[in-house]
A and B are shown apart, each in its own frame.
Chain A
Amino acid sequence: AQTVTQSQPEMSVQEAETVTLSCTYDTSESDYYLFWYKQPPSRQMILVIRQEAYKQQNATENRFSVNFQKAAKSFSLKISDSQLGDAAMYFCAFATSYNTDKLIFGTGTRLQVFP
């Protein structure tokens, strides 16, 4: 069975600074997808970034980037130049390549951004 662990229940960062959210996962599969989702106070989940396990290059979306370490089964999210609007719950998620419909979520990290 696959599991996703987010060991940081809460994190805080000052505006314009950089913060890294941690995520580890456990799987015996070699081909899979990893995701970071943002859940703002409005509660609507938004996809932040996606990584295919077969790609060695780390995914990047504007101020958001990941550090994907396949051997260590680690998938951290780096937010650069943090903005007040980045404050939200962030969930790491996993899906196998043969069942991309079934997302397995971590327990989330609440990010606070201070001015």
Chain B
Amino acid sequence: GAVVSQHPSWVICKSGTSVKIECRSLDFQATTMFWYRQFPKQSLMLMATSNEGSKATYEQGVEKDKFLINHASLTLSTLTVTSAHPEDSSFYICSARAVGTYNEQFFGPGTRLTVL
């Protein structure tokens, strides 16, 4: 149980285009989903927290207009990187917290974004 998937697993795009990454909780409902960014050989940094049906809460320094987050259902959250640039190339990981639980996040396998 508690499986989180991400799609796509990797994506290459041209500079200036937008890319959408999906995060799904497959066997549970997630009121809260989280988006992290991980640079090579570095730790995970929380970008934003999204709650179903409400606006995402962004961490300091994260551009909300560049990283659009939508959490339209209890099993799906999307991250759209708008007007991507090479410096946005990174590994993006989502996690989800199940309804009725606290302090345990289940992580997706991540999406590697490369912007040319």
Q: Which residues of A contact B (CB under 8 A)?
A: 33, 37, 42-47, 50, 91, 95, 100-103, 105-108
Q: Which residues of A contact B108 (CB under 8 A)?
A: 44
Residue pair B110, A101 in contact (C-beta under 8 Å)? no
* CB-CB nearest in chain A for B45: A105
Number of interface residues of B (CB under 8 A): 21
Contact of A105 among B32, B44, B104 (CB under 8 A): B44
Residue pair B34, A101 in contact (C-beta under 8 Å)? yes
CA distance A59 to B46 in the complex (A): 26
Asked whether any CB of chain A lies closer than 8 Å to the CB of B91, the reply is: yes
* CB-CB nearest in chain B for A95: B103
A-B CB pair tally, cutoff 8 Å: 44
Contact with A along B9-53 (1 / 0, CB 8 A): 000000000000000000000001010000001111110010000
Residue pair B43, A103 in contact (C-beta under 8 Å)? no
CA distance A103 to B93 in the complex (A): 13
Asked whether any CB of chain A lies closer than 8 Å to the CB of B77, the reply is: no
A-B contact pairs, 21 of them (CB 8 A): A43-B93, A43-B110, A44-B109, A44-B110, A45-B93, A45-B95, A46-B107, A47-B104, A50-B104, A91-B43, A95-B103, A100-B103, A101-B97, A102-B46, A103-B44, A103-B46, A103-B105, A105-B43, A105-B44, A108-B42, A108-B43
Contact of A101 among B32, B41, B42, B43 (CB under 8 A): B32
Q: Which residues of B contact A (CB under 8 A)?
A: 32, 34, 41-46, 49, 91, 93, 95, 97, 102-105, 107-110
Residue pair A101, B49 in contact (C-beta under 8 Å)? yes
Residue pair B49, A45 in contact (C-beta under 8 Å)? no
Given contacts A45-B107, A107-B43, 6 further A-B contacts (CB under 8 A): A44-B109, A45-B44, A47-B105, A100-B102, A103-B44, A108-B41
Residue pair B103, A43 in contact (C-beta under 8 Å)? no
CA distance A32 to B32 in the complex (A): 20
CA distance A48 to B65 in the complex (A): 35
